[in-house]
Amino acid sequence: MAKTLRAAVIGGSGYGGAEMIRRLLVHPEVELCRVAAVDHVGEPLGSAHPSLEGVTGLRFEQLAPGQAAEGMDVVLLGLPHKVSAHQMPELLSARGARGGPPVVVDMSGDFRLRDAAAYQRWYGAAHPHPELLQSFVYGLPEQHREAIRGSGRVASPGCFATTVELSLLPLARAGLLEGVVHVQGITGSSGSGIAPSAGTHHPVRAGNLRTYKPLEHQHVPEIAQLLSGAGARDLELRFVPVSAPLSRGILATSFVELPEEWTEARLQALYREAFAGEPFVRIPARRLPEVAAVSGSNFAEVGLAAGPAFRGRRTVTLFGATDNLVKGGAGQAIQNMNLALGLPERLSLEDPGPWPP
């Protein structure tokens, strides 16, 4: 059966780009037609992504945003923060396959926040096009599915953000998330991108655990924005990220204080009801979430443990696990693309990932 929709990837030479390309190449409805990049120009995709060797005849092209988007139904961006924002006006003025601009799914953080002042505070620069911020839907399908359907502009969430949001979302919806919440997130090295740095270079990272950006990570405001919109009150997120010696995956652990009547059994029922029918969120029945169980897949795992009551309160620990490149990145971008184009949400995303990982 011929594919009926046309897609381009801009920023295709990084790890996120590789995952988007891989998913698009096996997509039954969407044809990957162009891959734009500023490096490996003219070379086959396998030159940057060895797993794609011989899989496709596409080559990396150096294209302006408007050129890449011309005649496309959808454009997916794997560009760094602060780059995407500058290219967006030209991209949105391109003539897509149906005359108007193509659907845009952006994986950077440039259009996740609705407040330009918050963007400047957390990303360290004034937003070049604040007038566009309100036009993007924040692409967490588990909360904004209906808004994403038919939307022309989607800002896909960050990897830490996705993992933390899913683990706390049922509490926010139930009105139970209030005040200070402490979170630790442990992440693999691919979340830092394809270019090595002093902190991500293998000899340093392989046998090391290292905290970075404590209480200052740029995913904090998007988590607070999403959860506050879902019902959290006066939320103050205290988030500490940790780099771990693994290539992909995130495990987030959050600590909240709840009234003692919220027993573990009652919370388990709340979470199972909240995620009933969600195609990519699961609550393990006989264990807690773990990275190996979701590695290479678009699935997220969520779980919890409730401590004993003390003076009318109990500490509840929430756990979330994702693959930072799939559900935490490119896979969720494809999920958002499917929704925005009116396609079945699961297309090209249902594989469970390898075991052992």
Q: What is the pLDDT of residues 265-300, one digit of tens each?
A: 999 999 999 999 999 999 999 999 999 999 999 999
Query: Residues near 220 by Cβ (< 8 Å), separated by ≥ 6?
Result: 122, 237, 239
Can you tell me the mean pLDDT for 166-183? 98
Per-domain boundaries in the chain: 5-135, 160-324
Which pLDDT score is estimated for 325? Answer: 97
Assigned superfamily of 5-135: NAD(P)-binding Rossmann-like Domain (3.40.50.720)
- Other Cβ atoms within 10 Å of 272 Cβ, number: 13
Q: Which fold has domain 160-324?
A: Dihydrodipicolinate Reductase; domain 2 (3.30.360)
Q: Is the pLDDT of residue 257 over 80?
A: yes
Please report, as a single letter, which amino acid is at residue 134.
Q
Average pLDDT over residues 304-332: 97
255 bridge partner residues: 182, 317
Q: CB atoms < 10 A from the CB of 122, how many?
A: 17
pLDDT at 1: 64
Rounded mean pLDDT of 185-189? 93
Instruction: Categorise residue 312: left if φ over 0, alpha if ψ from -120 to 50, beta otherwise.
Output: left
Q: Running DSSP on this structure, what letter comes out for residue 118? A: H
Q: Which residues of 78-128 form beta strands (DSSP E)?
A: 103-106
Average pLDDT over residues 246-261: 96
pLDDT in tens, 112-142: 999 999 999 999 999 999 999 999 999 999 9
Q: Which residues contact 237 (CB under 8 A, 6 or more apart)?
A: 164, 181, 183, 220, 223, 224
Predicted confidence (pLDDT) at residue 192 exceeds the cutoff of 80: no
Measured distance CA(268)–CA(303) in Å, rounded? 8
Quote the pLDDT of residue 203.
Answer: 81
**Spatial distance between the Cα atoms of 25 and 17, rounded to a whole number of angstroms:** 12
Number of H helices, E strands in the chain: 11, 14
Whole-prediction pTM value?
A: 0.96
Task: Please tell me the total number of residues recorded for the chain in this structure.
Answer: 357
Q: What is the pLDDT of residue 129?
A: 98
Mean of pLDDT values over 11-16: 94
pLDDT for position 167: 98
Catalytic residue among 159, 226, 235, 281: 159
Residue 285: which residues within 8 A CB-CB, separation 6 or more?
none
What is the reported pLDDT for 72? 98
Q: What are phi and psi of 196, to 5 degrees?
A: -70, 150
> Which has the closest alpha carbon to 34: 83, 91, 85, 84?
91
**Which pair of tokens denotes residue 208?**
């090391």
| pLDDT at residue number 201 | 76
> Of 123, 140, 133, 110, nearest to 217 (Cα)?
123
Measure the CA angle with vertex 303, ends 329 and 261; round to 5°.
Answer: 135
Residues 216, 298: Cα–Cα separation, whole Å:
27
Give the containing element (helix H, strand E) for 170: helix 159-173
Q: How far apart are CA 233 and CA 317, in angstroms?
A: 19
Helix axes 116-123, 220-230, angle to 10 degrees: 150
SS3 117: helix
Determine whether 33 is an active site residue. Answer: no
- Helix, strand or coil, per DSSP, at residue 192: helix
- Supply the mean pLDDT for the chain: 95
Residue type, 148: I
Candidates 306, 304, 325; CA nearest to 246 is 325
Q: What's the CA angle centered on 23, arms 17 and 24, to 5 degrees? A: 85
pLDDT of residue 176: 98
Average the pLDDT over 149-156 and give the result.
Answer: 95
Distance (Å, whole) CA 263 – CA 348:
38
Classified as helix, coil or strand, 134 is: helix
The answer to whether residues 262 and 305 touch, using CB atoms and an 8 Å cutoff, is: no
- Measured between alpha carbons, how far is 38 from 98 in angstroms, rounded to an integer? 27
pLDDT value at position 204? 82
If one counts every other C-beta atom within 10 angstroms of the C-beta of residue 23, the result is 24
- Tokens of residue 299, six digits: 């699935």
